Amino acid sequence: MSLRTRLLILVIAAMLVPASLVGLRFMQNRSSEINAALANLAAASDDIASDLDEKIQGTAQLHYGLARARDLDTRDKAACSAFLSDVREEYPQFTGILTIDPDGSLFCDSLRTNRTLDLNDRGYFKQVKGLQGVVAVEPVFGRLTGLSVLQIAYPVRSDAGALKFVLLASFNLNKFAEFHDKRLLAEKDILLVDSKGTVLVAPKGGSWREPIGASIAGSDLLRFAAAPDREPFREVTDREGRTQVWAVARSPSIRKAGLYILVGRSKDSLVAAANRRLYEDMAILAVALLALLAGVWILATVSVGRQVGRLAAMAKKLGLGDLSARIQTPHPRGELGGLMTLLNDTAESLQQQRAAIADLNQKLSQSQKMEAMGQLTGGVAHDFNNLLTVILGNAEHLADSLAGNKELHRIAGDIATAAERGSDLTRSLLAFARKQPLRPRDIDIAEKIRDMEPLLRRSLGEHIESAFALDADLWLTSVDPGQLATALLNLVLNARDALPDGGKLTVEARNTALSESDLDVNGEPRPGDYVMVAVTDTGSGMTAEVARRAFEPFFTTKEVGKGTGLGLSMVYGFVRQSGGLVQMQSEPGQGSVIRLFFPRLATPPIEDPVPAERITVPDGSETILVVEDDDMVRTYVENELKALGYNVIARSNGPAALELLRQPGQIDLLFTDVVMPGGMFGPELARQATSLRPGLKVLFTSGYTQNPVKMPDGVGDARILTKPFRRKDLAAMLRSALSAPKR
């Protein structure tokens, strides 16, 4: 038997199972297409109902606006009808807009018919008399036009709650159905019936035979539409034997209004489309099989060996690591050609992967370098702050000792100033390493806002005009700059959300004085001098109810997933913690203005250095346990504490300190570094120490800490003395810690 015959038999045998599976898959696809078409019917009916719901809501909003129009609050029937006629021209979806007196008589209408109608028998009128602020809906045939409409009625009441008149808009169901019929490309039939079975809108063409106004009460189709069990579809056969598949909208509000929206399609057309696709797929499969057999036949008659040799040579080069090897064209047709192309593509992919791996290695190296730099800066800051602590402390000693020598006293002061500048440098290093906690600073708010101006403009977008009005010579305030930036950005982003179609936003900063009549958002007076930061927008504004709750945590008017409701509450908490207050003004359609007031510093900072004053050493007999791994820092702290009158016991690590605490003897306060070698950091030492001695006071010191310091339960708040520190800071923190009440 020839190779060609063997290949053909092998291919035919191999294709029997896949062909059967593909055929089965085609049958499943046919079933899936039929199910998808049925689901599309349900989706179309629900989509039409959703659109009608939106139209009802839009009409309710129109009623709300018209109810406040002065032109309707009149007994001039002609003027009222003329006004409604003008409104009707702007809203062609309505066949008419009219007002009904409380006694049920028609007063004026947009058609200017001047007819007299008694509408007391209409269901919507009976229902709307008992409503307030919402609409009543009923599908009927309009008495003025004879068209099928959805009557949408709204009660207009006086301030005392009495019914002044009823606004009625007749939504044209025929035009509504025509719009969706065009949208569905006439592939589906749209049927609208009321709860009594009266046909309001009938399908155009097709197999439907009942005219508009006819009743299908008692029919299988109406029972399906009104059934509460939510049956997804129903096949209905007409008198001529034609079967139609119907789906009904399940919108609760539409059904409550007494309207059923059904979308149907001929079962023959639905199945025919799926059958046609099945036949097409089977034909494609047959053609593919024939083409494959022909390719195998041609492959068997061509030089298979030569092509296999080219593949082997390519594979050998790849095995040796030459990813640039390729099989040159032309490639033969059929599987061998596909294999050659696949081999070329594989080599290309491997070459790209090799380049990608090299690029990832470079990026990983860069990432590791940046991480190492972050760790290095943190470690350097720790050690550098230890050195600065010793330098700054000894510089203070020199300044005190050399107070009589003006030149040497100045040099000692310069050393202290340089040490403080070194401290600023370590804070910058820690900021780079993302390990520096933010703190309040005496700042010029205008300068901070100028630094943020490019960021704020980018956040607003080009469709919003922004302006910055920052007064010169603003008073200094004590504010956390990072929290101020976050608060200002929150306000600007909120204003941006209120300006979806553009507008103007203004950021203002100026000095101001508040009196007893100036209240914050909670109604509290806080008179005094402040620096005011205001964010003003020309956006949509807020109602009184929304403005009243704007600063409540988790309160938001944004859509689900688009806002946490914490932005303004965070701003409020930050300002109050800074000793300030918040004011807000907002009206619907008039925009909003939010003002933040930060207290003016009582005294300006001293710019020129003054001679250091001697610190009066307080009397005291307390015993302090100092735990510090750095020898120079430990020696410096020992000397300072002894100079301040304290008894001092020093240890270089946590285990040694715990061993001492287990022995008898008076110890009033543990003064420990946060980061220490040996596996036991300051917080863990404090936890075990307070467990051994419950009344022990704790004071931390650190030039660097990666995580927030937390005190053990029952000990109180963590006190931290940041390195480098001056003698007066050490004395003040010690007295504060020792004077704290026991818990």
Short-list 155, 152, 50, CA closest to 93: 152
Instruction: Identify the pLDDT of residue 269.
Output: 75
Which DSSP letter does residue 667 get? -
Q: Say if residue 169 is in the same domain as residue 40.
A: yes
Residue 279 forms part of a structural domain: no
Helix locations, 213-334, DSSP H: 220-226, 252-256, 267-301, 304-319
Does 352 have pLDDT greater than 70?
yes
Position 491 pLDDT exceeds 70: yes
Q: How many angstroms from the chain centroid is the CA of residue 152?
A: 37
Residues 589 and 650 in one domain: no
* CATH value at residue 164: 3.30.450.20
Domain holding 634, by residue range, is 623-739
In a domain, 310, yes or no: no
- Residue 86 sits in the same domain as residue 128: yes
Q: Mapping DSSP to helix (H, G, I), strand (E, B) and coil, where does residue 503 land?
A: strand
- pLDDT reported for residue 620: 57
Q: What is the pLDDT of residue 366?
A: 38
Residues 170 and 207 in one domain: no
Same domain, 592 and 725: no
Residue 707 structure tokens: 């995580």
Percent of the chain with pLDDT over 70: 83
Average pLDDT, integer, range 200-215: 83
Evaluate the CA torsion angle 588, 590, 596, 600 in order and state its sign: negative
Q: What is the CATH number of the domain that holds 658?
A: 3.40.50.2300
Mean pLDDT of 336-351: 82
- 580 and 645 inside one domain: no
Per-residue DSSP letter, 145: T
Own/partner long-range contacts of 266-275 (Cβ < 8 Å, ≥24 apart): 266/206, 266/207, 266/242, 267/235, 267/243, 268/242, 268/243, 270/34, 270/37, 270/38, 270/245, 271/34, 273/33, 273/37, 274/30, 274/31, 274/33, 274/34, 274/37, 275/30
Total domain count for the chain? 4
- Mean pLDDT, rounded, of the chain: 81
Phi and psi torsions of 516, nearest 5° = -65, -25
pLDDT in tens, 248-292: 988 888 888 889 999 988 877 777 766 777 777 778 877 877 887
User: Are 170 and 190 part of one and the same domain?
Assistant: no
Residues 159, 47 within the same domain: yes
The answer to whether position 473 is within a domain reads: yes
Q: Tell me, yes or no, whether 374 lies in a domain.
A: no
* pLDDT tens track for 60-113: 999 999 988 888 888 889 899 999 999 999 999 999 999 999 999 999 998 888
Pick from 233-242, 441-450, 728-737: least confident: 233-242
**Counts of helices then strands in the chain (DSSP H, E):** 18, 22
In a domain, 725, yes or no: yes
Q: What is the pLDDT at residue 364?
A: 55
Q: Kindly report which listed range (333-337, 338-342, 495-499, 643-647) carries the lowest average pLDDT score.
A: 333-337
Range of 428-442, 502-516, 590-604 with top mean pLDDT: 502-516
Residues of the chain above pLDDT 90, percent: 23
Task: Determine which of 362-371, 446-455, 671-680 has the lowest per-residue pLDDT on average.
Answer: 362-371
Report the C-alpha gap between 76 and 83 in whole angstroms. Answer: 11
Report if residue 292 sits inside a domain.
no
Q: Which among 270, 303, 335 is the end of a domain?
A: 270
Token couple for 114: 């001047």
- Give CA–CA dist 635/628, Å, rounded: 9
Asked whether residue 363 is assigned to any structural domain, the reply reads no
- Helix (H) or strand (E) holding 172, with range, is strand 163-172
Does residue 42 sit in the same domain as residue 166?
yes
**Do 138 and 244 belong together in one domain?**
no
Q: What is the pLDDT of residues 16-73, one digit of tens each?
A: 776 777 677 777 777 787 888 888 888 888 999 999 999 999 999 999 999 888 888 8
Indicate whether 449 pLDDT > 60.
yes
* The last residue of a domain, from among 147, 174, 201: 174
Nearest-angstrom CA–CA distance, 549 and 537: 19
Domain boundary among 145, 174, 203: 174
134 and 214, same domain (yes or no): no
How far is residue 150's CA from residue 475's CA, in Å, rounded to a whole number?
Answer: 64
